[in-house]
Each structure stands twice: as C-alpha cells, then as structure tokens.
Amino acid sequence: MTKPKITLETAAKLDQKDVLHNFKKEFYTDDNRFYMDGNSLGLLSKRAEQSLLSSLEDWKTHAIGGWTDGKEPWFYMSEKFGAKTAPLLGAKPEEVISTGSITSNLHQLLSTFYRPEGQRTKILADELNFPSDIYALKSQLELHGMDPDEHLIQVKSDNGATLSEEDIIKEMRSDIALLLLPSVLYRSGQLLDIEKITKAAHEQGIMVGFDLAHSIGALPHNLDDWGVDFAVWCTYKYLNSGPGGVGGLYVNEKHLGSKPGLAGWFSSKKDKQFDMAHDLNHAETAGAYQMGTPHILSSAPLLGSLDLFQEADIKNVRCKSLQMTRLMLDLVYQELDGLGFQIITPLEDERRGGHISLVHSEAASICKALKKENVVPDFRAPDVIRLAPVALYTTYKEVYEVMMILKEIMVNETYKKYKNERDIIA
Ligand SMILES: *Cc1c(COP(=O)(O)O)cnc(C)c1O
C-alpha cells in the first residue's frame, strides 16, 4: 500500500486540528523566518519577557527589598522555579532546583555522588555525548587522582549516530561507580530508554545520572518512577528561557540530605542562611546543591515560560512534536529521495526526541543556503543538519514549506555557491 501524497493541504489540515495552535501568538515569531533551531535557543515568549520585566521592576522599586518583598521574591525563586519544573520531570518539588548550568550542575552532582571505592572507581559514559559533559567527567576523575584513559569508559556507537541500550548494559561491570548519559543524543536526536538503562545499572549497584538538555520541554519524564538518581538540564533550549538562562538539577529523594560536594551559602537551609555560621547547615532538599547567589535576571524569564508549559501540557507538546517530526521524515522520503541525504534519527516514535538530523556531505553549504532563504537550521560538524520544529510555535505548514525550500536548494544546486565549512558558531 502506498501512502497518499503529502501536500500543503495535508499540513494545513493538521494545523486546523492542532490543539496547541493558540500558543504561537504567545511568542515573538517572524512571519518571514522559518525557525528550526529551538533545540539550541528557544524563542522569546511574551510571558517570559513579562516575568523578566517584573524582576527588573522589583529591583527598581524595592532595591535590596526585592529579595523578600518583590512580586516574585528573589530569595525563594530557585526553589519556586524548581517546583514548577517538577511536573515536566515526574519529580517532587523538593527534588528539583533551578540553578547553574548543565556543566556546573554536573560538576556539583559528580562532586556529591561520584564516590570511587575499592575496585568500583570507573565512570561509564558514551562516545557521542556533548563535549562539555565529557570534559566535566574527565576533570572530575583527575580531581580524584584518576587517569581518564583508564577510568572513563565510553560506550561505542555502531554507526556514529545512535547507541544500543544492550551495548550500554554490557559495559555495566562491577568496577563502574557511576553512569552518565544524555536522554536524547544531541546530534542524532535518539531518545534512550532511560527506565531500562536505569534498572539495569541499579542491578549492578551503579549510580545513574542523565543529562536532559534535549528532552526537557520536548517530552514528559518520569524520573521518580524510573528511579534515576540525578539529572541536569538547561532551559534555553526547549524551555525558552533565553540565552544563558538558568539551568536545573534533580536529585532523587532517596539521596536528599547528602552533603553537597561543592558547598556555598545558598546550599543552606533557608532559615539558617543568614545566621552566617561557618558550619554549613545544608538544606534537605535539592536546594542544597546550589552554591552562590542565584542569577536572578537570567532566571526570571523561566517563570513565564513554565506557565506556558503548564497551560499547554507536556503530553500535548510531545504529541505534536512527534507528529511534526514524523511529517518531516515522511517528506524526506517523498521529496528528497536521491539527493544525498541520510536520516540518522531513529524512525520509531519512542526512540526519537524533538529534532531530526540529516547527514549530507555538503551539509555546511546547505545550511548556509537555507539561511539565505530565511530557514534557520542548525549545523553540527562535519555533516549534520538538525531541524527542530518546536511544538509551541511551529506550524505543520511551516514544516512543509521548510522541506520544499530544502528540496529547491538541492534541485537548483544553489547550495554550491557556499563554502562547505562551518562558521565560528554552528
Ligand atoms: C546544550 C548542552 C550542554 C551545554 O551545557 P551548558 O553548561 O548549559 O553550557 C551540555 N550538554 C548537552 C548534552 C547539551 O545538549
């Protein structure tokens, strides 16, 4: 049976049925631009702008009093935003805190939970993770006096794009202390089976951490049910908190109360912090893993953004996201056949995050040609084009049009005008 041909009409019909169509006008979008890069930096919403302006207003009118008396008191902001993020994670409010960045939070949680002992000294990761995560793992090993060449085990990929859960599980030996993996691989968009991996690791006595950079705000999580020990994420990608927006971390309640590996005065119990004692009385919540003064102005936009997620419901976001990436994939087969593209994103819904990735030998040139046509893709050297149709602000029609522009660039060979090299930021 052949599938019916996908047309602009097909996409328009999907838009008519879209339960999230009202959310687009909550964002600053540009009718002349096709934004497919929300997995690197999400767009600004009017709510996020409002919550940032509100914090500025608190500063303007309350000065130091803004810590406790403003509209959104800064002293409690990280805890409050953590609690508001918890439903996106399947977590309890006290297990989540808004703080730091992925990399600094990883350092904090590795300093707290990586406890090499006896023969159990190694860290298990993969060879496809984002470099910053690997740098953090290596420097943590070195801080413990260990040689990363020997103590960091990176699971290999068969095809350079995806990982096999079975291969990961095979590496879970008795000398592994801790496992760190991405939920969704940043390059291929593969979604790992977090529950299965966590269960297998726990059977071997291994502590499990996940980096949710490419899944938070794109799909629901059940961290508590899955038993994940800790997690980190950023909010400037699918959570649309703005450039350098505050990150977050999760610590499973069974570990709450653990002494923070990297302590600071914001690790304190809130009612003890201003005792100014030299013996830290650390919080019994995920708040204990904060260090210094929160970056209020890089945190404030998150409030408005989280309100949108609360209204939209992450299940609806996931449902639309999958339908949009499915449409993209179908259009690759229908329109881009024979043009040199290879899909490296898993085709099964349950193995796919929020973006799709196409490999092409001329990927850098193609991305430049797309930008010239007002399509914003994202390029990952040496040959990957990532396209993220974000559920809250992208229409099915836009997905259709982007794929037709891509086809035109290929058929007319306009990409050949551009050098096949990456720019400084790609
Ligand atoms: C985006 C991303 C990062 C970035 O880390 P920051 O500390 O927020 O700069 C790290 N890891 C992964 C997997 C990412 O996707």
Question: Which domains, and CATH codes, for the chain?
Answer: 8-32+313-417 (3.90.1150.10), 50-311 (3.40.640.10)
Q: What are phi and psi of 295, to 5 degrees?
A: -85, 85
CA–CA distances in Å: residue 111 to residues 104, 141, 144, 192, 362: 10, 10, 10, 25, 42
Q: What is the Cα–Cα distance from 266 to 171, expressed in whole angstroms?
A: 37
Q: Is ligand 1 within 6 A of the CB of residue 232? A: no
pTM of the entire structure?
A: 0.97
Atom of ligand 1 nearest to the CA of 105: 7
Residues near 23 by beta carbon (within 8 Å), at least 6 away in sequence: 308, 311, 312, 392, 393
* 103 CA → ligand 1 middle, Å: 7
Indicate the residue type of 11. A
The structure tokens listed for 225 are 């049910």
Where does residue 21 rank: exposed (0-12), middle (13-18), buried (19+ CB within 10 A)?
A: middle
For residue 403, report the distance from its CA to the centre of ligand 1, in Å. 28
Q: Is the CB of 214 under 6 A from ligand 1?
A: yes
Bridge partners, residue 45, by sequence: 27
* Cα 63-66-71 angle, rounded to 5 deg: 130
Please tell me if the CB atom of residue 251 comes closer than 6 angstroms to any atom of ligand 1: no
Q: Is the CB of 244 under 6 A from ligand 1?
A: no
Ligand 1 neighbourhood includes 304 CB (under 6 angstroms): no
Residue ranges in the chain whose pLDDT is less than 70 = 1
Given this model, what pLDDT does residue 1 score?
Answer: 59
Structure confidence at residue 377 (pLDDT):
97
Residue 3: the pLDDT is 78
Q: Give the annotated binding-site residues for pyridoxal 5'-phosphate.
A: 102-103, 130-133, 211, 214, 236, 265, 293
Q: Is 101 in the pocket of ligand 1 (CB under 6 A)?
A: yes
β-strands 342-343, 248-251: how paired? unpaired
Contact residues for 204 (Cβ-Cβ < 8 A; gap 6+): 172, 173, 174, 176
- CA 179 to CA 210: how far, in whole Å? 8
Q: What is the pLDDT of residue 215?
A: 98
| Minimal-distance CA residue to ligand 1 atom 6 | 102
User: Closest ligand 1 atom to the C-alpha of 186?
Assistant: 15
pLDDT at 389: 98
Q: How far, in Å, CA of 7 to CA of 162, rounded?
A: 31
Distance CA 220, CA 314 (A): 6
Closest protein CA for atom 3 of ligand 1: 102
